[in-house]
Structure 1
Amino acid sequence: MRRALVIKATAGQDDPERCNQAFTVAAAAVASGVDVSLWLTGEASWFAVPGRAEGFSLPHAAPLADLLAAVLAAGRITVCTQCAARRELTEADLIAGVRIAGAPTFVEEITRDGAQALVY
């Protein structure tokens, strides 16, 4: 059975190191062949909007836009339903391929056999 990694990023520009850690781990896992689902919640939700990741900068860190692209190319990216609603975001506002889903979907992903969840 192929292991699955579900990562929830809860921080954005408000906590850049924690935010970058979530994206870095997600991209490293994808590069290692792990099935990755990256959930963007809270302020991290903004990085699903085109151009937002390009404005993020953290010294000595890979560009967030590159990490996001790597995860999107080989994994899944989801924005929390409530987080999207609070920011008035719809799927039409998001990068192609990013979905909006809620807690039932998150719970389904983290309780699958072989799944590991990490929250940053």
Structure 2
Amino acid sequence: MLSKFLQRFTLPLALSVALAAAPVMAQQSQGMQHDMPNTPASRAYMQSMENMNKAMMSQPMTGDADHDFASMMRLHHQAAVDMAKVEIQYGKDPEMKKMAEKVVADQSKEIKELSTWLERHPVQR
């Protein structure tokens, strides 16, 4: 009897919790952006993170750990490249700019490697 109860109410309960949490999460996100300095670099960093989060959340999981890792890491590395380009454009410290240039080179190489692997290993459904 308990099993039937759980089956009947688990999904609606989970959806209710998710819907109740959505406004809180939105407020937290807005609060982070509200407290953020309004500089071109800050806005660009935030945009790169938002782009990554949207892309990663919309990327369906295949159930294949290798494929999902490669897909997610490719998006993660692209965000690192995007953020490094912000440093290159707006940063002032030569050491940080040099590190950002290295990030662009290294992560771009890894993005290519991940893309090549994904092309060679299509999802088996």
Give the TM-score, by structure 1 length.
0.29
Greater percentage in helix: 2
Query: Of the two, which has the highest radius of gyration?
Result: 2
Higher relative contact order (Cα pairs below 8 Å, separated by 6+ residues): 1
